[in-house]
């Protein structure tokens, strides 16, 4: 599993990282992130409609009922009809937001039967990973390794145009179109394992094991960063996931287990 960067760089990979001045989400690579993406669009539509409606009402009221151009003071103080309307419509809007939100929330927690478990440990300040679903003939080989950020000097030497503060010396390799289980914990302080394209952001708490499901739909290199303030080098413990088709994945795993 300790795959060298030189092997990976033989191929051209499209990196799923944030673009310069990006406003929206990164391209989704999992069904849960697609759900989050669509729900965000739904929310934006509702929010923008409300802002336009309220802004228009405010403008109309200020213009039509200014003291300078309107001397007729209305003599009513209550209107049951209006009160019913302006209470029930917001309640209906909230319902229309709650229903997709809850179904999305429950779908994120759905227990499927994972074929592979990746253990993720947060350290100050690097991540280490463990896959124990594969057995080797010898005990000296296991899929257990730490992944550290590549420093600026290393990046300059490599001349491959890697992303600054996002690249690691070893990448997590995961198969696509496979139900995966992530077990996340920390060794020292709170960290958070986050990959925006996956829609995964799970806290790594010391003494506690958090679980997340992952189903990657396409191959590629996915970048993430620790998302819980964990000390001076919080910004320097990135996550790089290389997702490959499962046949290639098993080939990589087997070659690394037996011949590393």
Site membership for ligand CUA, residue 238 (CB under 6 A): no
Pairing state between β 200-204 and 191-195: antiparallel
Q: Which helix (H) or strand (E) holds 185?
A: strand 180-186
Q: Which stretch binds ligand CUA (CB under 6 A): 54-62, 83-91, 147-155, 230-238?
A: 230-238
Of 128, 234, 245, 252, the one binding ligand CUA (CB under 6 A) is 234
Q: How far is the CB of 228 from ligand CUA (least distance, A)?
A: 5
Site membership for ligand CUA, residue 226 (CB under 6 A): yes
Alpha carbons 133 and 181: distance in angstroms, whole number: 11
- Is 17 or 192 the residue whose CB approaches ligand CUA more closely? 192
Site membership for ligand CUA, residue 181 (CB under 6 A): no
Site membership for ligand CUA, residue 150 (CB under 6 A): no
Pairing state between β 15-16 and 220-224: parallel
Q: Which stretch binds ligand CUA (CB under 6 A): 17-25, 66-74, 79-87, 229-237?
A: 229-237
- Is 126 or 219 the residue whose CB approaches ligand CUA more closely? 126
Interface of this chain with ligand CUA, residues 239 to 258, rule: CB under 6 A = none
Burial letters 68-92, b for 16+ CB under 10 A, else e: eeeeeeeeeeeeeeeeeeeeeeeee
Q: How far is the CB of 98 from ligand CUA (least distance, A)?
A: 32
Between 60 and 99, how does the x/- string for binding to ligand CUA read (CB under 6 A)? ----------------------------------------
- Is 198 or 219 the residue whose CB approaches ligand CUA more closely? 198
- Spatial neighbors of 99 by CB under 8 A, at least 6 apart, are none
With vertex at residue 213, the alpha carbon angle to CA 209 and CA 218, rounded to the nearest 5 degrees, is 140
| Torsion over CA: 25, 28, 33, 38 (sign) | positive
- Is 195 or 226 the residue whose CB approaches ligand CUA more closely? 226
Whether the Cβ atoms of residue 145 and residue 129 lie closer than 8 Å to each other: yes
Compute CA distances 225 → 1, 69, 115, 147, 203, whole Å. Answer: 20, 58, 25, 12, 12
Residue numbers of the site for ligand CUA (CB under 6 A)?
Answer: 122, 125, 191, 226, 228-230, 234, 237
């Amino acid at each position: 599993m300790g795959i060298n960067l030189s092997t990976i760089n033989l191929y051209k990979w499209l990196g799923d990282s944030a673009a310069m001045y990006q406003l929206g989400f990164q391209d989704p690579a999992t069904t849960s992130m697609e759900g989050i993406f669509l729900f965000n669009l739904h929310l934006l539509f509702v929010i923008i409609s409300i802002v336009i409606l309220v802004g228009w009402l405010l403008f109309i009221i200020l213009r039509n009922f200014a003291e300078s151009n309107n001397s007729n003071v209305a003599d009513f103080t209550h209107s049951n009809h209006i009160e019913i309307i302006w209470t029930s419509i917001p309640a209906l809007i909230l319902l229309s937001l709650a229903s997709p939100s809850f179904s999305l929330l429950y779908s994120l927690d759905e227990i499927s039967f994972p074929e592979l478990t990746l253990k993720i440990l947060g350290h100050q300040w690097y991540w280490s990973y463990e896959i124990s679903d594969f057995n080797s003939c010898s005990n000296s080989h296991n899929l257990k390794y730490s992944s550290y950020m590549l420093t600026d000097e290393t990046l300059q030497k490599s001349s491959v145009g890697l992303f600054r503060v996002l690249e690691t010396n070893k990448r997590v390799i995961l198969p696509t179109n496979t139900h995966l289980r992530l077990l996340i914990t920390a060794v020292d302080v709170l960290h958070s394992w986050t990959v925006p394209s996956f829609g995964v952001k799970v806290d790594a708490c010391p003494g506690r094991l958090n679980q997340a499901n992952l189903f990657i739909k396409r191959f590629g290199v996915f970048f993430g960063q620790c998302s819980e303030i964990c000390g001076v080098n919080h910004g320097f413990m990135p996550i790089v996931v290389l997702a490959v088709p499962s046949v290639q994945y098993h080939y990589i795993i087997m070659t690394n287990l037996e011949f590393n």
